[in-house]
Structure 1
Amino acid sequence: MAKWFGNVTSIGWGVLLLGAIAWVAATALGWIEAAVVAMAALFLLIGAAFFMIGRTRLAVATVVEPPRVAVGQALTGELRARNEARGPLVSTTLEFPIGAGGVTYDLPMLMPGAEHTELFVVPTQRRGVIDVGPVRTVRGDPLGLFRRVQEWTDRTEVFVHPRTTHLEPFGVGLVRDLEGSTAQNTSMSDLAFHALREYVPGDDLRHIHWRSSARHGQLLVRQFLDTRRSHIVVIVDSSPTSYDSEEEYETAMSIAGSLLRRGILDEFDVSLATGDVLLVRATAAGGGGRSALDACSRATPQPNNLVEITAEAAGQAPDASLVMLVTGRYPEFVTLQRAAGQFSVDATTVAVRVDSSQRAGFKAVADLPMLTVPDLDQLPIVLAKGLSG
């Protein structure tokens, strides 16, 4: 019974309430007009209820391939509906939500076992995550007193990744790892032998190279280079007040996606922090390229503080080797300095300003490389100069 009442629309409840009030008035006051209104409401409800008799038996499936595309790429899908009832299926309406909008299909009469196919288009003009489905059948009466909605498919997420550009390999290493590359920091206990130096009190005697010591007449100890594996952290300023326009924010997300994609191709660990999205240590072996760009698709402008976002990222990735701070034209340099100071001094930190009103350029201010990028196409040249500088 409760489920049946759930099919009554607001109009239906209004008619029911009007009929009840009219019946009370007719009974208490003897108004014939009120009795007529009550009977009319009753007949309307009974007549509308006949349209709800019976069950819809459908097999509905949606196919969206591929589930991940870049901005602007064409993406179509297919909806298939098959009548699984023993009798014919009269014309039925299918509601199909796609993102913020949706489409409505009027199925023709289907004989038992018959199938109907519709094609649909998924909008990909903007970066984001688009919910496709669930497909619903709507059954009701012409007056709108009753409405029964039944879902036939699950909700599917389609990821529209930001536009990216090709970048040259980074070649930066920091995180200690048995299979990592050597960095320039010396160490007294690692795998990559570097040189011999004179013994000083406190050195581990196990590192004394006895043969060379005997040859030179003084104690010499082995010195090593740290072996490290790169960990690239990309931080995107999510505050709308940092950018001059929504297009500049989208350029920032495209820069982030390009940096993360390059890191995965170099088989580095990558992390992303922006707004309410935090992706920590994605790897190529674990499908990091897909998860990193998916995280970029989920990012939305948020009134967050760049320093706070950076501090959270530094706490999650203290071993970062390359930190890319991507922001707009408005944050002050001291804010970028404070954000860069959240990471270890061993990390290479680069700030990237998105400013469509300026020419592409590079400069180092107080040991913080600053890149100005007016659009995504300028990123490879400016970034190569910034990292090499």
Structure 2
Amino acid sequence: MTARVGEVRSAAQERWLAAQPRLEPVSRAVRCVSPLGWMVLGASVGSWLLAALFGWTEFAFVAAALLALFLLACMFTIGRTRIDVGLRVHPTRVTAGDVAVAEVRVRNTGSGRLLPVPLELPCGDTSARFLVPGLRPGAEHDDVVMLPSQRRGIYPIGPITTLRGDPLGLIRRVLSWTGTVDFIVHPPTVFVDAFGTGVLRDLEGRTTNDTSLSDLAFQALREYVPGDDQRHIHWGATATRSSLSGSTSLMVRQFLDTRRTHAGIILDASRGAYADDGEFEVAVQVAASLAQRAVRDKVDLSQASGSLVLTYAKGHVAMDLYARVELGDQRIDLVAARLARCSPNMSTVIIVTGSRAAMDAVTQAAGVFSTRVNVVMMQVVPGAELARQRSVGRVLVTLGDLADLPRALAAGAPQ
């Protein structure tokens, strides 16, 4: 019995899925009716029922009038608007406060004159509405809309829509003419010195104890063994040894392996780490300034904040993370552990947090990385004096504002 019920249910689902393409036009038509339209239609049906049950002629007239009003409203949506609409956002990435615009171009592709058409352009949480004037066949109309760029974030621009309907709002037919363009606003940043200076000096790579046959850090000379690169034979040392001891063995250079600088930036996005949203925005700006410097120096960069993790980020992609990041409940030590797993070769890690962060958790996040990694912890405390101190092989920097960041990274910053 249970198997039979399952078969019937499965067959019904298959029929429903098969019928959906045929029902889609009906579904679109139903969605065009506004709540007020459904009220008018329902009142018409109710009036017909009252007239039929009690023989009240007045309700029959009311039902007929309401139905005629509904049908008249439907006639406002009949027909096609023959236009071609283009949307261009320039530029698509800006820093908060910069100017950006959306350029809208409308062309009449029909054979007759186009009547004035209202267009709506969603811009994030707001919408811009403007009226396209009447256009003769083939004519174009251009308009420019200023985009919101005061606050960092990612704002979906579009799609551009037209609304056809009756003056009373019973029927509303929305047509989309363009796709959606992401408008990305990066946080403000300050210029900081290159990663080769001050607290973050590391640009030439970190020397390890691992020997190498070819690198930049020369260590010693040794005897040649088969397989060595002949380009590293030290002919002067070979000749000197031969003249002193009569040895015919060749001497080759031996190097220490160096690793290219790989910076990691961890932004604490835990809600409890900050006194308010303004403090969090300063922390975002600090992290973005460091990322921007790494991008300019072409340093390998990995980033983490909340649920977002980027490895070997380059160019605009690295900065886009700070447009997306939002406060959440992610623990800073777990975020650090996730980044350490994704990018195990980092040589410098900067952890940016707020004034209310539990320093035990921040220290635990720093402890995720080995002692060979240069870890700098930056705490944003609005109004505090710039300070820098070392603790357990780590550097703790206290910032009162974004403007303190360049001095905090300099070699002569307050201790």
Global fold match (TM > 0.5): yes
Query: How far apart are residue 311 of structure 1 and its match?
Result: 0.8
Alpha-carbon distance between aligned partners in 2 of 1:182 and 1:320, rounded to the nearest angstrom: 11
Residue in structure 2 matching 1:224, options 238, 252, 255:
255
Alignment of 1:172-187 (within 5 A): 181-187=204-210
Alignment of 1:208-287 (within 5 A): 224-282=255-313
What SS does structure 2 have at the residue aligned with 1:186?
A: strand
Alignment of 1:190-205 (within 5 A): 190-192=213-215, 194-196=218-220
Does the alignment pair 1:189 with 2:220?
A: no
Alpha-carbon distance between aligned partners in 2 of 1:8 and 1:195, rounded to the nearest angstrom: 81
Alpha-carbon distance between aligned partners in 2 of 1:325 and 1:266, rounded to the nearest angstrom: 19
In structure 2, relative to structure 1, the CA distance for the partners of 1:169 and 1:236 (3 Å cut) is same
Does the alignment pair 1:94 with 2:119?
A: yes
Does the alignment pair 1:292 with 2:315?
A: no
Contact 1:80 1:118 in 2 (8 A): yes
In structure 2, relative to structure 1, the CA distance for the partners of 1:129 and 1:227 (3 Å cut) is same
What SS does structure 2 have at the residue aligned with 1:250?
A: helix
Structure number, greater radius of gyration:
2
Alpha-carbon distance between aligned partners in 1 of 2:85 and 2:318, rounded to the nearest angstrom: 32
Contact 2:221 2:253 in 1 (8 A): yes
Alpha-carbon distance between aligned partners in 2 of 1:54 and 1:182, rounded to the nearest angstrom: 68
Q: Which residue of 2 aligns with 1:53?
A: 78
Contact 1:188 1:222 in 2 (8 A): no
Contact 1:362 1:385 in 2 (8 A): no
In structure 2, relative to structure 1, the CA distance for the partners of 1:371 and 1:216 (3 Å cut) is farther
Query: How far apart are residue 221 of structure 1 and its match?
Result: 9.7
Query: How far apart are residue 235 of structure 1 and its match?
Result: 0.3
Q: Which residue of 2 aligns with 1:368?
A: 394
What SS does structure 1 have at the residue aligned with 2:193?
A: coil
Query: How far apart are residue 19 of structure 1 and its match?
Result: 1.3
Counterpart amino acid of residue 114 in structure 1: A
Alpha-carbon distance between aligned partners in 1 of 2:381 and 2:117, rounded to the nearest angstrom: 52
Instruction: State the identity as a percent.
Output: 35
Alignment of 1:43-122 (within 5 A): 43-122=68-147
Alpha-carbon distance between aligned partners in 2 of 1:386 and 1:250, rounded to the nearest angstrom: 27
Alpha-carbon distance between aligned partners in 2 of 1:274 and 1:305, rounded to the nearest angstrom: 10
Contact 1:182 1:226 in 2 (8 A): no
Structure 1: 5+ residue runs without aligned partners?
175-179, 283-287
In structure 2, relative to structure 1, the CA distance for the partners of 1:216 and 1:305 (3 Å cut) is farther
Mean Cα displacement is larger for which, 302-311 or 14-23? 14-23
Query: How far apart are residue 106 of structure 1 and its match?
Result: 2.0
Q: Which residue of 1 aligns with 2:360?
A: 334
Contact 1:84 1:113 in 2 (8 A): yes
Mean Cα displacement is larger for which, 151-160 or 216-225? 216-225
Does the alignment pair 1:344 with 2:370?
A: yes
Does the alignment pair 1:126 with 2:151?
A: yes
In structure 2, relative to structure 1, the CA distance for the partners of 1:206 and 1:266 (3 Å cut) is same
Query: How far apart are residue 89 of structure 1 and its match?
Result: 1.7
TM-score relative to the length of structure 2? 0.83
Counterpart amino acid of residue 194 in structure 1: F
Query: How far apart are residue 45 of structure 1 and its match?
Result: 1.0
4+ residue runs of structure 1 moved beyond 6 angstroms? Answer: 204-210, 212-222, 386-389
Mean Cα displacement is larger for which, 350-359 or 10-19? 10-19
Counterpart amino acid of residue 38 in structure 2: W
Counterpart amino acid of residue 317 in structure 1: S
Structure 2: 5+ residue runs without aligned partners?
1-24
Counterpart amino acid of residue 219 in structure 2: A
Contact 1:75 1:122 in 2 (8 A): yes
Counterpart amino acid of residue 136 in structure 2: M
Q: Which has the higher strand share?
A: 1
Q: Which has the higher helix share?
A: 2
In structure 2, relative to structure 1, the CA distance for the partners of 1:182 and 1:254 (3 Å cut) is closer
Over residues 314-367 of structure 1, what are the superposed CA-to-partner deviations in whole Å (9 max), with x where a residue is unaligned? 111111111000000112322121001112322110000111121111111222
Q: Which residue of 1 aligns with 2:42?
A: 17
In structure 2, relative to structure 1, the CA distance for the partners of 1:216 and 1:198 (3 Å cut) is farther
Alpha-carbon distance between aligned partners in 1 of 2:35 and 2:386, rounded to the nearest angstrom: 59
